[in-house]
Amino acid sequence: MTTVHDSAVTTLAGDLSVWPASTAEPCPGDLAVGGVPLAEIADRFGTPVYVLDEAEVRERCRTYRDAFPDTEILYAAKAFLCRAMIHWMDEEGLGLDVCSAGELELAVTTGFPAERIVLHGNAKSPRDLETALRLGVGRIVIDSPSEIARLAAAVGPHGHQKVMVRVVPGISAGGHEKIRTGTEDQKFGLSISDGYAQHAIARILDQPQLELTGLHCHLGSQITSVKPYLAAVRRVVGLMARLHGQHGLVLPELDLGGGHGIAYRPGEQALDLTTLARKVRTELAEACAAAGLPVPRLIIEPGRAIAGPAGIALYRVLAVKRTGNRTYVAVDGGMSDNPRPALYGVRYAPRLIGRRTTAERAPVTVVGRHCEAGDVLAADVELPADVRPGDLLAVPVAGAYHLSMASGYNLVGRPPVTAVRDGQARLLVRRESLDDIRSRDVGL
């Protein structure tokens, strides 16, 4: 890999470090993942299309289990969810972290045990809570004081529900201000510093049908340093010590959330899971010993770090346009299937696949097909100078927060999701068709 600093363009030819481990180059100019050529997938299923490497997903689950052997690991469903993903998580021994009745019902109707599911969210609807109670969800994370009375009433005087409280430790961490949730000035959780968390916990203790099992703390997303997690452990254990002194309360669980950062382009930093596990375990043991508390069972919620690197997005080039000093390469997808560049300014490393070329690499900006100037998928990247309409582009690290955040903009329809494994490709989620779109439009 070489970097051209004066043009802010990165050359990534030949570097497959952010691709799934199964990625191979069976012939020059082509790539195969899970034993299946990506160009074959594009021809068979059309484009845009998303590809998930099942073996990569499963291996990442096992990496977490190995790094955190005594920890409850919940896959954060918001990263990406479908029935196959739910099935894989079940088989790999992970729980689920969901934030809506839709995610919850899809999981349970797929056969996932409800008691291994945690429901959270800053504004749970009556349907969310009713569904959680009806299906017997394992825990509900309380995010605001108003939820306490609503949940207690829904449970009823003779019912029982395990709950946690999401607390805000006042720590800034994450790859962008829009995905930092551990600070005071954002919508999630109850502040430790101003006493709102303690007040809510006291109210929960007055509701005999609610069993408080622990505290929940999620700092944000795309965090690549261990330090914020250690600071969070210290502050949350400090709160646990105060609760023990005030109420004699000993909480058996501590959920540190997720947000584990991954590399989207070669050379970028990712969170070291082995170091995270070792240092968090040590910090938690020392903080609890100093406070005279037993060590609670740790819970973590990885999502992006499991799904993201296992996914690839495939696009067909529709147009190449040279305007001023820029070359724009327009593809048949865009912000309707991946809004992250527009929301967070994230950077990707797209790659030309499906044909061999000896052309020099040149700076381009890969844009989507939507009627929005901000519909940019990859700004200032290098592709072969002879890129042309009909070419295929593959975008690695596309498994998380792409389709889960997809929209109906311009009514182009959401792409399908395929899975590859052992030389076979299969459809997981079909393409959204015009008939699907029409069927929802019921009035004139």
Provide the annotated active-site residues: 371
pLDDT for 269: 93
Token digits of residue 2: 């070489």
Rounded to the nearest angstrom, the gap between the alpha carbon of residue 144 and the centroid of all alpha carbons in its chain is 23
pLDDT for 179: 45
Q: What is the pLDDT along the chain (444 residues), one digit of tens a residue?
A: 333 333 333 334 468 999 999 999 998 899 999 999 999 999 999 999 999 999 999 999 999 999 999 999 999 999 999 999 999 999 999 999 999 999 999 999 999 999 999 999 988 999 999 999 999 999 999 999 999 999 999 999 999 999 999 999 878 655 545 444 444 565 678 988 888 889 999 999 999 999 999 999 999 889 999 999 999 999 999 999 999 999 999 999 999 999 999 999 999 999 999 999 999 999 999 999 999 999 999 999 999 999 999 999 999 999 999 988 899 999 999 999 999 999 988 899 999 999 999 999 999 999 999 999 999 999 999 999 999 999 999 999 999 999 999 999 999 999 999 999 999 999 999 999 999 999 999 998
pLDDT for 1: 31
Contact in structure between 155 and 241 (CB atoms under 8 Å): no
Can the peptide bond before residue 48 be classed as cis, meaning omega within 30 degrees of 0?
A: yes
Closest CA to 221 of 161, 173, 185: 173
What is residue 411's DSSP assignment?
G
As a whole number of Å, the CA-based R_g of the chain is 23
Contact in structure between 392 and 410 (CB atoms under 8 Å): no
**Domains of the chain in sequence order:** 2-52+311-440 (2.40.37.10), 68-302 (3.20.20.10)
pLDDT for 171: 80
Q: Is 272 helix (H, G, I), strand (E, B) or coil?
A: coil
Read off the pTM.
0.93
From CA 444, how far away is CA 442, in angstroms rounded? 7
